[in-house]
Copies of this chain bind each other. A is one copy, B any other.
Amino acid sequence: KDKAALEEGDDLTPRFDANGLVTAVVTDVADGTVLMLAHMNAEALSKTLSTGIAHYYSRSRASLWKKGESSGNLQTVHEIRTDCDQDAIWMKVSVSGHGSSCHTGHNSCFYRRIETGNGTVRLVADAEDVPRFDPDKVY
C-alpha cells in the first residue's frame, strides 16, 4: 500500500501490528471525555462496523470482547475514524447500563490526574468521577 493511498485515500486498510491489533481510543460523544484505550483485531473492527456496538480484542483472554456484555455497559458507536497511517481508531460512543467504561466502576479509566510540584509526582483522583458500580458485585 503506498503512502499517498494510505494517508489520503478512501479505502480502509488497517495496519494491524505484529499481534494483529490496532489501538482504539474511545471518547464520550456528549462531552469528549477519553473513556478508555483498547485494542481491536480485524474481527473486532468488523463486528463494530456491522453492529454499531463496540467490540474489542481482549489480550488477557485472547478472545473477542463485546464490551459491556457482563456489566451491561455496552458502547453504542456514534462516529468512528481512523488516523493518517491507519494503525489507530477513534470512536465516539454513548454508554448504556451504569454509564461506566472502566472495570473499576469509574466513568473513565482516566480518573486520576498526574500532578507535579515541590519535586514530587503524584496521582490525584477526580472528586466527581466516583465509581458507578461495585466491581465485586458486577463481575
Spell out A's residues near B (CB within 8 Å): 7-12, 23, 25, 27, 31-34, 36-37, 49-50, 79-85, 88-90, 102-104, 106, 109-114, 116, 121-125
Assess whether A121 is in contact with B90, with CB atoms less than 8 Å apart: no
Query: How far apart are the CA atoms of A75 and B25 in the complex, in Å?
Result: 19
Closest 9 A-B residue pairs measured CB to CB? A32-B32, A83-B109, A81-B110, A10-B123, A84-B109, A80-B114, A90-B110, A37-B88, A34-B90
Contacts of A81 in B (CB 8 A): 110-114
Q: Which of B10, B36, B121 contacts A83 (CB 8 A)?
A: B36
Assess whether A122 is in contact with B11, with CB atoms less than 8 Å apart: yes
A129 to chain B, nearest CB (A): 11
Assess whether A12 is in contact with B123, with CB atoms less than 8 Å apart: yes
Given contacts A9-B123, A12-B123, 13 further A-B contacts (CB under 8 A): A8-B125, A23-B37, A25-B37, A27-B34, A32-B32, A80-B113, A80-B114, A81-B110, A81-B112, A82-B110, A83-B102, A84-B102, A85-B109
Number of copies: 2
Q: A23-B23, A25-B25, A27-B32 are in contact. Are A49 and B121 (CB under 8 A)?
A: yes
